[in-house]
A and B are shown apart, each in its own frame.
Chain A
């Protein structure tokens, strides 16, 4: 990223227009991702967007880049494989709260612990959108959904606290209603060396009538406008629990730790996809000789 030439946002215009409901928060996230990519000057051919299944996971189809639209909950391992195969690619994982914090949570924890050099953008609408409005792992207590008609009585998960304690080295929160800030956060996340998670409030205007644009607008404030520092584990963790009348947006945590790829003896030799294939006779014979 040394010779940074910005590219226009149109560079990343996808083949078809998104089919999200008018007003869906995901439009803002797509736009912010395109702006961030342009700002970093990443050529579409060098970008791989990987998603799972959900409204939000349809995003790779709407952007001009390489993409993988994988299974529900499996975006992280698919992305990990593709990334390890070709570490020259900028791998950005996108998806929903159900995809990432529900069915795919196990993978997410391990990706963070490994500090893989990837970026994960979660369009957190606190609901299962695609399946028409059931509770998700981030649905608030008491909220009525199709699957919780008497009100949700499971505690919502705190993705940011989870990320900070699991080993993610860049943790941020954005809001699709704050597009400029969001695109900055995404650009920082992509530029960060290590695992970056951006949890993004991306309202589902159709199925979540609680966590709406006005609901967030009344509560959110920007951390960069305060004197908050981002490299103190405990302070960041405390910040991650701030919820209610005031909800912070911005970078919560950012540290520099060794990444997985640099410690692996084979990956550290450069992208696998460019390495030599197969065995020569000498090595082959040595391998057999071990067994004699």
Chain B
């Protein structure tokens, strides 16, 4: 596979997401696949943003470990990311504004400073002075050259992007793109001479789409008519898509006062007779739990999406994590039938949503979709043909007419399958109450006046019977990779993509590995998972959480424990080499080292500078020291003035605790 990864770093509000989007769409239109990851923060302006766009001539499943071209939009970004650029790569920056110290990059990396004023002289003469954000377009032009992407597709994308604006703006942007392209060409060679583009991909449409957009699309393709939500990252973009397409696709969108209202409205709409959905993050879902059980006992079809972010509490609003498995699994008091599904990729998010609607109707139960920030918010190219446009909408066993000669209609009729044919309010002769108290076949409460243990037993069994057939309807998990592998990696959700890619890397270092990804959590394919795991040699879980929730869950269902756990919980998604390193460590019984790495020490050093008004400095040297009366080894970080290079301060960070033991200004 050929691939190039472009990183764009800057402050929030620098408009770097737009540049990334143009780059990605241009590549997609050429028949190349793209996976982008935006490591952003919950602030609108300022702060550090780091966007990675990975382009390949085959499908890429995560943002990867590489960095070939860096666009640094400010001084800070230039200093923090230049060293990450691979050998043979390029660092792009505005040389009118920023100074680049070549000591901060690898020797074989080319430093491409853009003298903006000089490059854009003619453009400015023609169109007038530039706004700061326009430097992005010039840098993008340079990237198009360096990555051998040509300039035509990018022009077409810009024309589409600015189609609603006046022609002058379109022309100006295209002119800037050309300026950047020409300047890069005059300075250096492309980092890859030519792409071998797959002819099939070139022909197909490659939308650049996020998990949340796929969920929204899956919902409306399934006939979702009601969507309720309360804004919460990382679920909000489903609301935005729904709201901006509401009229076009015919979905009523309700922003509610809180998540209690959100789920209760969605359930009400389900009872009212339409397919309904809602979505939130972990915090909002916590407020929804009582009602999830109500949908269970009332047997209401409803789809609810929980997009995990870093927790607990408000946690890390804009960071990814997979730590809500047990919250979703345990949502609501009592026991009731439900579907819990965790999609793995963007196209799987579409399929899972379509399936969730189908199963919710067929089995009259709440269908819960667990996503995570990475899956929901990262965009990737997906071949259009992967989206089934021809969704069969089957509303399940519905009673549309009833006459009294058929006897009394019983909403909760005790049937073999457990599914009781459902009549919608408004149907004649099928009147009933949907009760949150437990009830008999005729929906009469058995909670106070008419308590009847035998009836309770039977209604409970009727409801729970639905799970048997539901399980048969779901595709059991399969091993991916060689059957005779030495290592089996257990994963779920968005982590699937990176684990899949790590198999190849592991193979390269002589470790034969396969993977088992769990998509259906409730009901669970106990038999199939046990069969797979019983045959597996070394079993390691890979999860973006601290406590290995999926590993615990699998153990509770199968009695099979993992041999080791690979976890990441710093808010960032896992990259392939992270897995390789950890697997090697586990295989050689190396204890899991939680000491700060140099990169982590650098991260913390920058954090200290930024939070103490010391941005005139930068860390220049990191050395590991033994215990200096701090009860642990330390990292000694030396700072220098950004302009003069003079030594300014020293910081000692505990290598184990990360504690800031001392900061001394010189």
* Any B CB within 8 A of the CB of A53: yes
Contact A106 B271 (CB under 8 A): no
With A and B bound together, what is the CA distance between A75 and B449 in angstroms? 22
* Any A CB within 8 A of the CB of B460: no
Q: Inside 8 A of A60's CB, which chain B residues have their CB?
A: 433
Q: Convert B390-413 into 0s and 1s, putting 1 for each residue whose CB lies closer than 8 angstroms to a CB of A.
A: 110100000000000000000000
Distance of B228 from chain A, by nearest CB (Å): 7
Contacts known (A81-B271, A85-B225); A284 close to B389, Cβ less than 8 A? yes
Q: Which of A73-118 contact B (CB under 8 A)?
A: 73-74, 76-86, 88-89, 106-107, 109-110
* Cβ-defined partner of A265 (8 Å) among B228, B246, B265: B246
* Any B CB within 8 A of the CB of A214: no
Q: Which residue of A lies closest to B225 (CB)?
A: A272
Contact B433 A81 (CB under 8 A): no
**B74-82, B136-144, B272-280, B555-563: which lies at the A interface?**
B272-280
* Cβ-defined partner of A84 (8 Å) among B245, B254, B275: B254
Distance of A76 from chain B, by nearest CB (Å): 8
With A and B bound together, what is the CA distance between A61 and B443 in angstroms? 9
* Any B CB within 8 A of the CB of A71: yes
With A and B bound together, what is the CA distance between A289 and B393 in angstroms? 24
Contact A278 B393 (CB under 8 A): yes
Contacts known (A68-B268, A81-B226, A288-B205); A86 close to B433, Cβ less than 8 A? no
Contact A107 B257 (CB under 8 A): yes
Q: Which residue of B lies closest to A280 (CB)?
A: B389
* Any A CB within 8 A of the CB of B473: no
Q: Which residue of B lies closest to A81 (CB)?
A: B268
Contacts known (A84-B254, A278-B393); A78 close to B222, Cβ less than 8 A? no
With A and B bound together, what is the CA distance between A216 and B224 in angstroms? 49
With A and B bound together, what is the CA distance between A53 and B448 in angstroms? 13
Q: Which of A44, A50, A79, A284 has the most CB of B within 10 A?
A: A284
With A and B bound together, what is the CA distance between A86 and B271 in angstroms? 10
With A and B bound together, what is the CA distance between A64 and B444 in angstroms? 12
Q: Convert A265-280 into 0s and 1s, putting 1 for each residue whose CB lies closer than 8 angstroms to a CB of B.
A: 1110100110111110
Q: Inside 8 A of B352's CB, which chain A residues have their CB?
A: none
Contact B273 A281 (CB under 8 A): no
* Cβ-defined partner of B266 (8 Å) among A66, A76, A81: A81
* Cβ-defined partner of B269 (8 Å) among A48, A82, A292: A82
Contact A272 B274 (CB under 8 A): yes
* Any A CB within 8 A of the CB of B29: yes
* Any A CB within 8 A of the CB of B247: yes
Q: Inside 8 A of A70's CB, which chain B residues have their CB?
A: 264, 267-268, 294, 434, 436
Q: Inside 8 A of B429's CB, which chain A residues have their CB?
A: 45
With A and B bound together, what is the CA distance between A136 and B259 in angstroms? 24
* Any B CB within 8 A of the CB of A1: no
With A and B bound together, what is the CA distance between A175 and B431 in angstroms? 29
Contact B290 A71 (CB under 8 A): yes
Contact B271 A284 (CB under 8 A): no
Contacts known (A85-B226, A106-B257, A291-B208); A283 close to B426, Cβ less than 8 A? no
* Cβ-defined partner of B207 (8 Å) among A58, A273, A292: A292
Q: Inside 8 A of B250's CB, which chain A residues have their CB?
A: 266, 269, 275-276
Contact A44 B431 (CB under 8 A): yes
Count A-B contacts at CB 8 Å.
Answer: 216
Contact A275 B225 (CB under 8 A): yes
Q: Which residue of B lies closest to A58 (CB)?
A: B445
* Any A CB within 8 A of the CB of B209: yes
Q: Inside 8 A of B426's CB, which chain A residues have their CB?
A: 45-46, 66, 86, 88-89, 273
Contacts known (A45-B427, A276-B250); A67 close to B434, Cβ less than 8 A? yes
Contacts known (A44-B431, A292-B25, A292-B205); A74 close to B225, Cβ less than 8 A? no
Q: Inside 8 A of B387's CB, which chain A residues have their CB?
A: 284, 288
Contact A45 B272 (CB under 8 A): no
With A and B bound together, what is the CA distance between A45 and B298 in angstroms? 19
Q: Which of B208, B249, B429 has the most CB of A within 10 A?
A: B249
Q: Which residue of B lies closest to A62 (CB)?
A: B433
Contacts known (A83-B272, A278-B223); A65 close to B431, Cβ less than 8 A? yes
Q: Which of B272, B275, B449 has the most CB of A within 10 A?
A: B272
**B3-11, B213-221, B494-502: which lies at the A interface?**
B213-221
Contacts known (A46-B426, A64-B431); A89 close to B221, Cβ less than 8 A? no
Q: Which of A61, A267, A276, A285 has the most CB of B within 10 A?
A: A61
* Cβ-defined partner of A292 (8 Å) among B28, B248, B442: B28
Contacts known (A78-B265, A81-B226, A289-B205); A279 close to B274, Cβ less than 8 A? no
* Any A CB within 8 A of the CB of B424: yes
Contact B271 A82 (CB under 8 A): yes
* Any B CB within 8 A of the CB of A22: no
* Any B CB within 8 A of the CB of A19: yes
With A and B bound together, what is the CA distance between A71 and B267 in angstroms? 11
Q: Convert B415-430 into 0s and 1s, putting 1 for each residue whose CB lies closer than 8 angstroms to a CB of A.
A: 0000000001111111
Q: Which of A220-262 contact B (CB under 8 A)?
A: none
Q: Inside 8 A of A88's CB, which chain B residues have their CB?
A: 426
Q: Which residue of B lies closest to A284 (CB)?
A: B389
* Any A CB within 8 A of the CB of B482: no
* Any B CB within 8 A of the CB of A287: yes
* Cβ-defined partner of A89 (8 Å) among B213, B217, B260, B272: B272
Contact A283 B265 (CB under 8 A): no
Contact B223 A107 (CB under 8 A): no
Q: Which of A61, A78, A265, A279 has the most CB of B within 10 A?
A: A78
* Any B CB within 8 A of the CB of A4: no
Distance of B440 from chain A, by nearest CB (Å): 11
Distance of B80 from chain A, by nearest CB (Å): 31
* Any A CB within 8 A of the CB of B614: no
* Any B CB within 8 A of the CB of A218: no
Contact B428 A266 (CB under 8 A): no
* Cβ-defined partner of A81 (8 Å) among B223, B276, B393, B445: B276
* Any A CB within 8 A of the CB of B32: no
Contact A66 B425 (CB under 8 A): yes
* Cβ-defined partner of A15 (8 Å) among B222, B298, B444: B444
Q: Which residue of A lies closest to B387 (CB)?
A: A288
With A and B bound together, what is the CA distance between A273 and B275 in angstroms? 9
* Any A CB within 8 A of the CB of B435: yes
Q: Which residue of A lies closest to B216 (CB)?
A: A287
Q: Which residue of A lies closest to B206 (CB)?
A: A292
With A and B bound together, what is the CA distance between A76 and B260 in angstroms? 11
* Any B CB within 8 A of the CB of A16: yes
* Any A CB within 8 A of the CB of B370: no
Q: Inside 8 A of B384's CB, which chain A residues have their CB?
A: 285, 288
Q: Inside 8 A of B436's CB, which chain A residues have their CB?
A: 53, 69-71
Distance of B572 from chain A, by nearest CB (Å): 25
Q: Inside 8 A of A265's CB, which chain B residues have their CB?
A: 246-247
With A and B bound together, what is the CA distance between A272 and B434 in angstroms? 20
With A and B bound together, what is the CA distance between A288 and B217 in angstroms? 9
Contact B29 A292 (CB under 8 A): yes
Q: Inside 8 A of B256's CB, which chain A residues have their CB?
A: 77, 110
* Any A CB within 8 A of the CB of B651: no
Contact B207 A291 (CB under 8 A): yes
Q: Inside 8 A of A73's CB, which chain B residues have their CB?
A: 260
Contact A279 B434 (CB under 8 A): no
Write 16 A-B pairs (CB below 8 A) sorted by A numbering.
A64-B431, A66-B431, A68-B298, A69-B434, A69-B437, A77-B256, A77-B260, A78-B267, A82-B272, A85-B269, A86-B426, A89-B272, A89-B426, A264-B252, A266-B250, A266-B252
Residues of A bordering B, CB below 8 Å:
15-16, 19, 43-46, 48, 50, 53, 58, 60-61, 64-71, 73-74, 76-86, 88-89, 106-107, 109-110, 264-267, 269, 272-273, 275-279, 281, 283-285, 287-292
Residues of B bordering A, CB below 8 Å:
25, 28-29, 205-209, 213, 217, 220-223, 225-226, 228, 245-254, 256-258, 260-262, 264-276, 290-291, 294, 298, 384, 387, 389-391, 393, 424-437, 442, 444-445, 448-450
5 further A-B pairs in the complex, CB-CB below 8 A; given A61-B445, A70-B434, A85-B225: A80-B261, A82-B271, A86-B425, A266-B252, A272-B226
Nearest 4 interchain pairs by C-beta: A81-B268, A85-B272, A277-B223, A67-B433
